[in-house]
Amino acid sequence: MILTDGLRSLRAAVRLWVSPARVHEEGATPDYRFSLANERTFLAWLRTGLALVGGGFAVDQFLPRLHEGLRLIFTVVLLVGGALCALRAVNHWVRCERAMRRGEDLPVTRFPSALALGVGVLAVAMVVLVLLGRTD
């Protein structure tokens, strides 16, 4: 039953992703400035996702002498991070838009912290590899 409810909830969320006009069926229209700010945040998340994807391709293409396993791990982590960022962007946009229309508090998320931690760990690992001369 819990799994069925979870799948139903996921299906409803994805429906809002591909048909955002349905969000307008809920609550009252918020001040347009808040909706536009929500859209700018969405676009910033997309830019972050694109940057991570670009970083993944850069690691793969410009660090050929990096140990193949490490290069693959870094590339995949960056590419998956970029994909998750894009998916999270649309999900967060819908959740915030719905909350504003309903007069509720904006949703809280741990994703920015997890993303920052992941990027930080990856950057430290790259610094260590550069200092050890393993990226030549």
Q: Give yes or no for a contact between 55 and 36, defined as CB atoms under 8 angstroms apart.
A: no
Q: What is the pLDDT of residue 3?
A: 66
Q: What is the pLDDT of residue 116?
A: 92
Tell me the mean pLDDT in the region 68-84: 93
Q: What is the pLDDT of residue 28?
A: 86
Q: What is the pLDDT of residue 67?
A: 85
Model pTM? 0.80
Q: Give yes or no for a contact between 86 and 49, defined as CB atoms under 8 angstroms apart.
A: yes
**φ/ψ of residue 132, rounded to 5:** -85, -5
Q: What is the pLDDT of residue 63?
A: 85
DSSP secondary structure code for residue 65 in this structure: T
Q: d(Cα 56, Cα 75) in Å, to the nearest integer? A: 4
Q: What's the chain's Rg over C-alpha atoms?
A: 19
Distant-in-sequence, close-in-space partners of 56: CB < 8 Å, separation ≥ 6 = 74, 75, 76, 77, 78, 79, 81, 82
pLDDT at residue 2 is higher than 80: no
pLDDT in tens, 15-54: 777 776 777 778 888 888 999 999 999 999 999 999 999 9
The mean pLDDT of the chain is: 87
pLDDT in tens, 79-121: 999 999 999 999 999 999 999 999 999 999 999 999 999 999 9
> Which amino acid makes up residue 52?
L
Q: d(Cα 112, Cα 115) in Å, to the nearest integer? A: 5
Q: d(Cα 69, Cα 74) in Å, to the nearest integer? A: 9
